[in-house]
């Protein structure tokens, strides 16, 4: 997350507060609400369907700027998110990006606890943000189990969601994730899997720039924009915002 006008050097990995606000406003006006991954896990465990018009927002790594810039935007629309944390580096910086990007501060334990009190959920991103497919099974097991245990003990929560660092996974890794006590796991963006322990995600920084002009280029867009029915709906949404 970035405040407007600030260049992080992370390129497409970052989004400004203005763009995030526009994206969240778009979801809100369409009647969508967020749902925590913990809740999704509970529904899956009990064979229950996810309610309609629900979507999940995730932030990886536990950066301080997520708390500083993203959380206020989400709360403005009544949205929450799941933050995947690297417990071995809480309160430190993103050492895994050394040599690639500028250092970025990670949230402290008290800040993560405060985030929980505000309705956000916490998931594991391993102890050290390492590529699991490059490790031996016993090393993978430690990364999975130690990170979950540490988060549960320090934040007094149950950790059910996991996210693969770098999107690196293999079937045997996914099996260990399940055995370690997690209920689901998220993959990287740009994938298409819907498997419970390899859940694909979508990065709005990829589709947002071309979606808006594409939609507005169609002739029906202007017809709909001028329709009395739509104006009534938009007016109602604005009154309820």
Contacts of the segment 51-58: beta carbons below 8 A, 24+ positions apart: 55/27, 56/81, 56/82, 57/81, 57/82, 58/82, 58/83, 58/84, 58/123, 58/163, 58/186, 58/201
Give pLDDT tens digits for 55-96: 999 999 999 999 999 999 999 999 999 999 999 999 999 888
Give pLDDT tens digits for 159-190: 999 999 999 999 999 999 999 999 999 987 65
Give pLDDT tens digits for 94-124: 888 887 878 889 999 999 999 999 999 999 9
Q: What is the DSSP letter of 99?
A: T
- Predicted confidence band of residue 222 (pLDDT cuts 50, 70, 90): very low
Exposed, middle or buried by CB within 10 Å (0-12, 13-18, 19+), for 1?
A: buried
Residue 102, pLDDT score: 82
Residue 177, pLDDT score: 98
Residue 161, pLDDT score: 97
List of residues 6+ apart from 146 with CB closer than 8 A: 87, 88, 127
Distance of alpha carbon 165 from the chain centroid = 13
- In the chain, what are the domains? 11-202 (3.20.20.370), 207-241 (no CATH)
List of residues 6+ apart from 223 with CB closer than 8 A: none
CA separation for the pair 172, 133 (Å, rounded): 9
């Amino acid at each position: 997350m970035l405040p407007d006008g600030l260049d992080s050097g992370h390129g497409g990995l970052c989004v400004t507060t203005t763009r995030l606000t526009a994206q969240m406003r778009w979801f809100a006006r369409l009647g969508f609400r967020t749902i925590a991954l913990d809740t999704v896990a509970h529904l899956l465990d009990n064979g229950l369907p996810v309610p309609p018009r629900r979507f999940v927002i995730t932030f990886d790594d536990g950066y301080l700027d997520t708390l500083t810039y993203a959380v206020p935007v989400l709360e403005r629309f009544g949205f929450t998110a799941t933050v995947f944390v690297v417990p071995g580096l809480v309160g430190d910086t993103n050492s895994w990006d050394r040599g690639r990007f500028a250092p970025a501060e990670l949230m402290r334990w008290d800040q993560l606890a405060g985030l929980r009190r505000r309705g956000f959920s916490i998931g594991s991103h391993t102890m050290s943000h390492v590529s699991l497919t490059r490790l031996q099974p016993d090393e993978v097991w430690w990364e999975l189990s130690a990170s979950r245990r540490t988060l549960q003990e320090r934040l007094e929560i149950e950790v059910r969601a996991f996210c693969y660092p770098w999107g690196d996974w293999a079937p045997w890794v996914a099996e260990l994730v399940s055995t370690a006590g997690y209920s689901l796991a998220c993959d990287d963006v740009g994938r298409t899997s819907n498997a419970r322990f390899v859940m694909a995600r979508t990065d709005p920084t990829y589709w947002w720039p071309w979606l808006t002009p594409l939609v507005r280029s169609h002739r029906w867009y202007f017809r709909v924009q001028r329709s009395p029915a739509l104006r009534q709906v938009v007016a109602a949404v604005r009154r309820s915002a």
